[in-house]
Amino acid sequence: MVLTLLRQMSRGACVVSLALAIVACSGPSKPVPKDLGANIGLIGVKAVWSTQVGPLDGAVQANVVGTQVLLASASGTVTALQGETGRVAWQLGVGAPLVSGVGSDGQTAAVVSESGELLALSSGKVLWRQRLGAVSLTTPLVAGARIFTLSADRTVTAFDAASGQRLWQLQRSSDPLVLGQAGVLLAVGDTLVVGVAGRLLGLNPLNGASRWEVPVAVSRGTNEVERLVDLVAGVSRIQSNVCVRSYRAAVACVDASKGAVLWNKAAAGTTGLAGDAEFVFGTEADSKLMAWSRSSGERLWVSEALRWRDLGTPLAVGQTVVVGDSSGLLHFLSRTDGAPMDRASTDGSAIVGAPVLVGKTLIAVTQKGGVFAFRPE
């Protein structure tokens, strides 16, 4: 398995990010996944539309805003698709390669370029650009007339959405090596919730003041890679109950209304979580799919049916869990025991991020830039 990391080299206020490919495991090659066999087809998944938006950076997440799906291509085009039909609602080229997902409140959209520039978009044009101290792979959060960013150097910054004025900034000391994946940044009520290294912080969005801070994982290990415990994108939230993953270290659920850890379990996964009121779902590094009790953290079941298929972040949909793999397949499994129920194919390239839901339409995006929509028959 290849993991991407960013090495931070700073001089004064300047931070330069270099992408490094590091092989996480040496020795024998990865085991070959077992044959899937014939598709059971218990659900009857039907392809309803597909389109192409151009190749995507591996960190880009699809973002649903109302009835639209927002995507940023590696070539520099932001596209909003109508989720039910796949029709282009609007599209804008920004003239720079893009590395984050697209955040939006329905009025203003925000995205980050490969050079570490935050761009605000509205009414078919770029409103303003602001250079960040480091590149950001995390989808900007647009809320309350502000745009919030989480940079790779673990700096949280708030901007005025209309003018681009920098309102406040919170910077924690950064390790020399940080994870090259999107992180955790969301609003829970009137609190800005952000992952910084292995900790979850609750901040006042008006001034960045800390309201609470809880540990999800503690850095341990003998080298920089083993000490990485950053929180990764893909959060399962039910009201103030927020469940997150620390990279290769832990899964935890937190009460974000008061900053209390409800439970914390060791887990070796590298991608985000999904869930509902009863379950929390996630995949391990070897692609075992796991379910924990949302209330207690008890492990409820483990499925090895998709082991070694490089699974991504899952999505909980009704009575099923949907997860994509590196070959472009979408797998539908029972939420109660992980039993296979159905599967669907895309274009043969890896599913990027988690599938998303618009109404009754399930949408998956591939690394080649294919966007595929499915509905149950």
**Averaged pLDDT, 162-186:** 90
Span 205-244, pLDDT tens digits: 999 999 999 999 988 877 777 789 999 999 999 999 999 9
275/176: higher pLDDT: 275
Q: In the prediction, which pLDDT does 16 show? A: 30
| Residue 359, burial from CB neighbour count under 10 angstroms (0-12, 13-18, 19+) | exposed
259/376: higher pLDDT: 259
- How many CB atoms sit inside 10 A of residue 132's CB? 23
Q: In the prediction, which pLDDT does 23 show? A: 39
Rounded percentage of the chain residues whose pLDDT exceeds 70: 92
Pairing of strands 279-283, 289-293: antiparallel
Contacts for 166 with CB less than 8 Å, ≥ 6 apart: 130, 157, 158, 159
Contacts for 287 with CB less than 8 Å, ≥ 6 apart: 33, 306, 307, 308, 309, 310, 311, 325
**Averaged pLDDT, 98-118:** 97
- How many CB atoms sit inside 10 A of residue 117's CB? 17
Span 237-279, pLDDT tens digits: 999 999 999 999 999 999 999 999 999 999 999 999 999 999 9
Q: In the prediction, which pLDDT does 4 show? A: 52
Q: In the prediction, which pLDDT does 264 show? A: 98
Q: In the prediction, which pLDDT does 19 show? A: 36
What average pLDDT does the structure give for the chain? 91
Indicate the pLDDT class of residue 335, thresholds 50, 70 and 90. very high
Helices (H), the chain: none
- Element housing 328 (H / E): none
Contacts for 284 with CB less than 8 Å, ≥ 6 apart: 267, 268, 269, 290
Q: In the prediction, which pLDDT does 25 show? A: 44
- How many CB atoms sit inside 10 A of residue 22's CB? 12
What's 59-174's CATH class? mainly beta
**Averaged pLDDT, 300-320:** 97
Span 7-59, pLDDT tens digits: 443 333 333 333 333 334 445 687 999 899 999 999 999 999 999 999 988 77
Span 129-168, pLDDT tens digits: 999 989 999 999 999 999 999 999 999 999 999 999 999 9
Best-predicted range by mean pLDDT (88-92, 150-154, 169-173): 88-92
Which pair of structure tokens corresponds to residue 327?
């070959």
Indicate the pLDDT class of residue 5, thresholds 50, 70 and 90. low
Indicate the pLDDT class of residue 2, thresholds 50, 70 and 90. very low
